[in-house]
Structure 1
Amino acid sequence: MVLAAVVATSVIVVEGGRRLLAGRLSERWPGAGRAARRCTAPAFAFAAVVGASAAMPYRALPDGPDDAVRHLVRIAAIGVTTWLVLRIAYALTDPPLARLMRIEGERNRRARRARTQMMLLRRIASVVIVIVALGAALFTFPGVRAVGAGLLASAGVAGLVVGIAARPTLGNLLAGLQLAFSDALRLDDVVVVQGQWGRVEELTLSYVVVWLWDDRRLILPVSYFTEQPFENWTRHSSRVIGSVELHVDWSVPLDELRTELYSMLQDHPLWDRREWVLQAVDVLPNGLVQLRALMSAADSASAWDLRCDVREHLIAHIRASYPEALPRFRTGPDPAADREPADGRPADGGPSPGGESADDSVPAGGAWAAPGRDGPPRAEPLRRA
């Protein structure tokens, strides 16, 4: 009867605190209500176990069950205490993490760095708390205490064995700390890894989840980012410069094309009005000119959309205004075909100079050879690619 009364009293006290936090205090501090809801279950469990441990009539129990019940209650107390401490730690760190997620603009990079470090430290603290709780629970067994004393006597050998066995785990843990505090990788960073473009969705103690552009997830060990090269497009700033390359004919008017590009960018909402240029960067051996247009955008996603819009606009403008500047492949007559043999007859077996063509369908002068008589044409008219 006393046991039930003590447990009920403990639960009622916890319920009163929960109502206070979720009621009046949550109106002034919204985070108090969320913390109360997050810690409700472990708080009730903690109150029940601690109340039962304090009011348990151990003397009324026989010697054998007395020890077993006492041991069981002690382990339960360690478990619910660990559960409550973890929930309190998460409840205290959730509000600053939520505020950091809402920061945009120039402060976004520093906010993502702080969020990455806070989440990594929270995970490390959680692992340490759980390990300590498991050790405390195991040391309640007399046999484990004896083994622990032996291990402490040979701590050097045990540490060496554990270090060798847990080398990958410890390596990933140290790699995660290095990434978080060296500012090399943060949550929501835009990266290119193994030729894949994506954003860092999750960074844990053992692996990194990269959310790819096509909604796939690339999962890599943390140590990969300290041992292998990767591209980070948002390490210092989210602004990037996009490029569009076109191959056009030499006859394209570059000045007019620059004017059209600038006019299009001024009306485009994704251009940040920072940088732009249109240049002829190369002359190709097939008679074409390689043009490259550069334009800046606020982030990589905007730069991709802006590049696609600029490419489509330039293609449509060239087709509509300068069709003669579209890519063409030029072919010329075979120089050997213009040389006449010693007898004065044309090389293609046609009529003598001054005569008429043997075939009315072939113009005099041999601009091209009819298929079936002398093989494929030696010269073709201009054709579009």
Structure 2
Amino acid sequence: MWEEWLALAVSIAIAVVAAALITVVVTLVFRLIARRASWPGTLIARARPPFRTLVVIVAVWVAVTIVAPAEAAWLPAVTQVFVLATIAAGAWLLAGLVSFGGDLALAKYRIDIPDNRVARRMRTQVLILRRLAIALIVILAIGSMLLTFDAVRAVGASVLASAGIASIVAGLAAQSVLANIFAGVQLVFSDAIRVDDVVVVEGEWGRIGEITLTYVVVDLWDDRRLVLPCTYFTTKPFQNWTRTGSELLGAVEFDLDWRVSPVRMREELDRVLADTPLWDGRASVLQVTEATGGFVRVRVLVTAHDAPTLFDLRCVVRERLVDWVQRETPSALPIQRVLLDDGAAAPEPVPPSVSSDTGSVGLFTGSAEAEQRARAFTQAIPVITDADADADEDDRRATA
């Protein structure tokens, strides 16, 4: 008996050594290739651990199958374990290869350069497709592992027979989850949002940091993270500032006194924009858009190549123009004017039932018809005064 176990141990050791030699040779080959190209290094980092595991499992399985006696009682259980381990290692290797392919695509489309709209779209699609592929590999691996058990294969027929009802129940139970998954796929291929897009959602400004099959993570400007379901972006309106390009137009407004000089202010704006590298040179406009309420509203329009730069440019323009108004034209600072009363006698008040300018009656006051109209609208109970009672008594006597 001990001779059989010794032979089994020796065969397993030989199998492990052979598997190690195979992995070493394969690694050396790819390292030689890596001297001329960069992709083998990424492949080695992604696929080396699962590849070594798979080679060792297969080699040991072959050794055990060759050396172990066919009548051994433990052989079916050990074979079952090797089958499960081989399926798991194979799925791990496939997932690593999928990740390697995704890394190659992501390296080709960089988003840290200007005019990266196509790169952001491709990056978003590659990330979602990689997640879908890995999820599919895991599901198939689990299904394959379950099918290796006789009990699972025995109930397979009944499961398939009730698959229609089960799918309906599962669809109703996971309606929101499925809606988010389909919405995530729709977002990726409709190009509505992409990774690194600048968006405004729920009144918050930020960038799309991550898109998954069920939710989207928005990196807000103050380092917070806003997590929203994918269905939010397919059912509610939101702002995408980089849908077709990153260039933006921004406004800066001032409420100033009527004595401001738009011409001189426009000249100062030109000097400010000439001194800052934040302005992209596309447009600069200074206009008086309103002149009401004792102030004039001056609006400045400037452009920048992306949203963060535009925010800083608006702050620079606002600060420099405020400083210029304080230094050069202090008379243009906003002023609240108050008319002081010199103590003259006030005019006598006009009865409320008569208009103060024309003496005419109002719609609901000033005459018997107007008051009757007011009662009809308010359903008020008329109040009989002493004068009205005396007048009614005189009318009754005259009639009698």
Greater radius of gyration (CA): 2
Structure 1 letter corresponding to 2:26: G
RMSD: 1.8
Residues 1-385 of structure 1 aligned to structure 2 (within 5 Å): 1-22=10-31, 24-57=32-65, 59-60=68-69, 63-102=72-111, 104-106=113-115, 108-285=116-293, 287-334=294-341, 337-339=343-345
Measure, in 2, the Cα distance between the counterparts of 1:318 and 1:332.
26
Do the aligned residues in 2 keep the contact of 1:281 with 1:292 (CA within 8 Å)?
Answer: yes
Identical pairs, percent:
41
Decide which moves more: 203-212 or 275-284.
275-284
User: Does the residue aligned with 1:208 lie in a helix, a strand or coil?
Assistant: strand
Measure, in 2, the Cα distance between the counterparts of 1:258 and 1:156.
72
Structure 2 letter corresponding to 1:4: A
Structure 1 letter corresponding to 2:165: V
Do the aligned residues in 2 keep the contact of 1:272 with 1:297 (CA within 8 Å)?
Answer: yes
**Counterpart in the other structure of 1:360:** none
Q: Which runs of 5+ in 2 are unaligned?
A: 1-9, 349-400
| CA positional deviation for 1:146 | 2.1
TM-score by length of 1: 0.84
| CA positional deviation for 1:62 | 5.6
Do the aligned residues in 2 keep the contact of 1:276 with 1:296 (CA within 8 Å)?
Answer: yes
Cα deviation code 1:32-55 (max 9, x no counterpart)? 112112211111101011112222
Do the aligned residues in 2 keep the contact of 1:103 with 1:111 (CA within 8 Å)?
Answer: no
| CA positional deviation for 1:339 | 3.5
Do the aligned residues in 1 keep the contact of 2:98 with 2:133 (CA within 8 Å)?
Answer: no
**Counterpart in the other structure of 2:386:** none
| CA positional deviation for 1:63 | 5.0
| CA positional deviation for 1:302 | 0.2
| CA positional deviation for 1:120 | 0.5
**Counterpart in the other structure of 2:387:** none
Measure, in 1, the Cα distance between the counterparts of 2:346 and 2:289.
43
Structure 1 letter corresponding to 2:321: L
Do the aligned residues in 2 keep the contact of 1:186 with 1:200 (CA within 8 Å)?
Answer: yes
Measure, in 2, the Cα distance between the counterparts of 1:166 and 1:232.
30
User: Does the residue aligned with 1:329 lie in a helix, a strand or coil?
Assistant: coil
| CA positional deviation for 1:60 | 2.1
Do the aligned residues in 1 keep the contact of 2:208 with 2:216 (CA within 8 Å)?
Answer: yes
Structure 2 letter corresponding to 1:71: Q
Decide which moves more: 313-322 or 84-93.
84-93
Measure, in 2, the Cα distance between the counterparts of 1:2 and 1:212.
59
Do the aligned residues in 2 keep the contact of 1:248 with 1:325 (CA within 8 Å)?
Answer: yes
Measure, in 2, the Cα distance between the counterparts of 1:230 and 1:192.
6
| CA positional deviation for 1:161 | 2.1
User: Does the residue aligned with 1:273 lie in a helix, a strand or coil?
Assistant: coil
User: Does the residue aligned with 2:282 lie in a helix, a strand or coil?
Assistant: strand
Q: Kindly tell me: are residues 208 and 341 of structure 1, through their superposed partners in 2, closer, same or farther at Cα, counting changes over 3 Å? A: closer
Q: Which runs of 5+ in 1 are unaligned?
A: 343-385
| CA positional deviation for 1:61 | 6.6
Structure 2 letter corresponding to 1:307: R
| CA positional deviation for 1:334 | 3.4
| CA positional deviation for 1:166 | 2.5
**Counterpart in the other structure of 1:370:** none
Measure, in 1, the Cα distance between the counterparts of 2:64 and 2:346.
120
Q: Kindly tell me: are residues 341 and 292 of structure 1, through their superposed partners in 2, closer, same or farther at Cα, counting changes over 3 Å? A: closer
Do the aligned residues in 1 keep the contact of 2:256 with 2:333 (CA within 8 Å)?
Answer: yes
| CA positional deviation for 1:105 | 2.8
| CA positional deviation for 1:81 | 0.3
> In the comparison of the two structures, how many residue pairs are matched?
338
| CA positional deviation for 1:64 | 4.0
Measure, in 2, the Cα distance between the counterparts of 1:133 and 1:206.
22
Measure, in 1, the Cα distance between the counterparts of 2:335 and 2:98.
68
TM-score by length of 2: 0.81
Measure, in 2, the Cα distance between the counterparts of 1:245 and 1:148.
71
Structure 2 letter corresponding to 1:66: L
User: Does the residue aligned with 1:252 lie in a helix, a strand or coil?
Assistant: coil
Cα deviation code 1:295-316 (max 9, x no counterpart)? 0000000000000000000000
Structure 1 letter corresponding to 2:197: D
Cα deviation code 1:208-265 (max 9, x no counterpart)? 1111101111111111111121111001110111111111100000011011101211
Do the aligned residues in 1 keep the contact of 2:217 with 2:225 (CA within 8 Å)?
Answer: yes
Structure 1 letter corresponding to 2:45: R
Measure, in 2, the Cα distance between the counterparts of 1:211 and 1:103.
16
Decide which moves more: 84-93 or 152-161.
152-161
| CA positional deviation for 1:169 | 2.2
